[in-house]
Each structure stands twice: as C-alpha cells, then as structure tokens.
Amino acid sequence: MIVRTLEEIIGSERDTRAQNWNSRRLLLRSDGAGFSLHDTVIHPGTETLIWYRHHVEAVYCIEGEGEIELTETGTVYPLRPGTLYTLNGHERHWLRTPTGLRMICVFNPPLTGKEIHDADGVYPPAGA
Ligand code: 9YT
C-alpha cells in the first residue's frame, strides 16, 4: 500500500517543472501500480503542443478553464471543472488556457520520472 500527500510531493524530485506546467507525480512506474497518476498545474496564458505517441493519457479537469484543439481535424473541446478527456487515439493537440488549469492525469504505460515534452510534444516510450 502506498500513501502520499501532495504536500510531500511539492518541491521533491517528483515535482516536474516544464515551461508551461508543473506535474506533481504522485505515482510513477517504479511504484508498480501499472499506471502513473499526476496532479498537473497548467500555467495561465499558455499554449502547449502535446502528442502522446507512446502513451494513453486520461485528463480530468478540477480547476480553471481552457480548451484542447485536435491538430488533425481542428475540433475544439472546451475544458472546465468536471470535464474528462482521454487521448486513447494518441491525438496530437494544442492545450490552451487563459486562466490556468489543474488536472488529474493518468498515464498508461506509466511515466518513469522526469519526462517533459520534446519539440513535437512527445514523451519517449517507457524504458527508452
Ligand atoms: C494535460 C497534460 O498532458 N499536461 C502536460 C503534463 C502531463 N499531464 C504530465 O506529465 O503530468
């Protein structure tokens, strides 16, 4: 059994900072749960290109307003607290927020640690 608090993650090596977001990684592959679980804060006024080619991500918005736009179709989905999206087709997309967002994110396969997006918005495959 694993019990952790956000307070002990913040400022630790599990608190991963990128230009547009902070990801507080509550569970990682080394925890052996089969998925990773993150409390992610997206900074206000940002636009981020994301493409999880090697992972499926589920994202549940709990604070803030924003949108995702699929690059292939131009389809835009508004985000607000209570909205879930799941990139089960590895959809490449823009994530935009004027207000900032707080999201609970699950990755399968689980992230290993310090992944941040490359220039294409991709995280490397697990084990790479
Ligand atoms: C929504 C999203 O994918 N944001 C980027 C960070 C990611 N959630 C992560 O690594 O925790």
**CATH code of 81's domain:** 2.60.120.10
The answer to whether residue 119 sits within a structural domain is no
Say if 46 falls within a structural domain: yes
Query: Does a structural domain hold residue 99?
Result: yes
The answer as to whether 122 is a domain residue is no
Ligand 1 atom with the shortest distance to the CA of 103: 1
Determine the structural domain holding residue 87 and report its residue range.
6-10+18-108
Q: Is residue 44 part of a domain?
A: yes
- pTM of the predicted model over 0.85: yes
Query: What is the tens place of the pLDDT at every residue in 11-66?
Result: 999 999 999 999 999 999 999 999 999 999 999 999 999 999 999 999 999 999 99
* Total domains in the fold of the chain: 1
DSSP the chain: -----HHHHTTSTTEEE-SSEEEEEEE-GGG-SSSEEEEEEEPTTEEEEE--TT-EEEEEEEEE-EEEEETTT--EEEE-TT-EEE-TT---EEEEESS-EEEEEEEESPP-S-----TTSPPPPTT-
- Asked, for residue 118, whether it belongs to a domain, the answer is no
Given ligand 1 and candidates 57, 85, 88, 116, which is best to mutate, with the most ligand atoms within 8 Å of its CB?
A: 57
| 37 within domain boundaries | yes
Is position 70 within any domain?
yes
